[in-house]
Amino acid sequence: MNWYEKLNQYFPIEEMKSKEHMELLLKEKGDIYRKDEGPHHVIMYVETEDFVFIDYLFVSKKSRGQGLGHKLIDKLKKKGKPIILEVEPLDYEDTDSEKRLRFYQREGFKHAKSIGYSRRSLATKEVNTLEILYWSPGNESEETIYEKMKHTYENIHTYKDQQLYGESYQDVDEVLTYTEKASERKKEEV
């Protein structure tokens, strides 16, 4: 099974980029879009000067619980930059979503409560709401994480979307929102 098939089996269709999209990113944006794969994992990520965005992280079922996910995340943490990713909201009927969230919490990721993310899938036409998680060695503000997410959306998620899918994704300002009040509440909780 190739790297794309592994990702495609694990991630829902509304979250998947096409194989052509990812291959084009690897070819044309290979300076920042990267793939790390092994027999039991695939990680697709963006690395810029000041942050890392995990696009996809897959660890095979038979390798889970053996520390492989931790090693992959640790490798990215050693870069000393904030790490950002998108996850499905917790669904108590889906044990995978609960396990995923617990894994990222153990790894020190925080939920960016002031950032909203809802995007219409070009594959299913349904609106898909995701949560933004981040890990930051320098205690970055959620507003800074929001700016980095906007950069990722505009330069990676929607890269040549019209050419690849025959239509465009929504504008970044329709997909990502930043609510300062949520950020202020979070500061008060700390």
- pLDDT digit of tens for each residue in the chain (190 aa)? 899 999 998 888 889 999 999 999 999 999 999 999 999 999 999 999 999 999 999 999 888 888 899 999 999 999 999 999 999 886 656 657 678 888 999 999 999 999 999 999 998 899 999 999 999 999 899 999 999 999 999 999 999 999 999 999 999 999 999 998 644 554 455 4
The predicted structure's pLDDT at residue 94: 60
The predicted structure's pLDDT at residue 183: 45
Q: Which residue has the tokens 């933004």?
A: 132
Both tokens of 188, joined, read 């008060």
Amino acid at 184: E
The predicted structure's pLDDT at residue 24: 98
The predicted structure's pLDDT at residue 107: 96
Please tell me the pTM assigned to this model: 0.91
The predicted structure's pLDDT at residue 72: 96
Question: CA separation (Å) from 113 to 44, 55, 89, 144, 179?
Answer: 24, 20, 12, 13, 8
Question: CA separation (Å) from 59 to 20, 42, 124, 156, 182?
Answer: 22, 7, 25, 22, 33
* Domain definitions of the chain by residue range: 3-189
CATH number of 3-189: 3.40.630.30
User: How crowded is residue 127: how many other Cβ atoms within 10 Å of its Cβ?
Assistant: 12
3-state secondary structure of 40: coil
Q: Which residue has the tokens 């991630």?
A: 11
* Helices assigned H by DSSP within 47-165: 68-77, 95-106, 142-152, 161-165
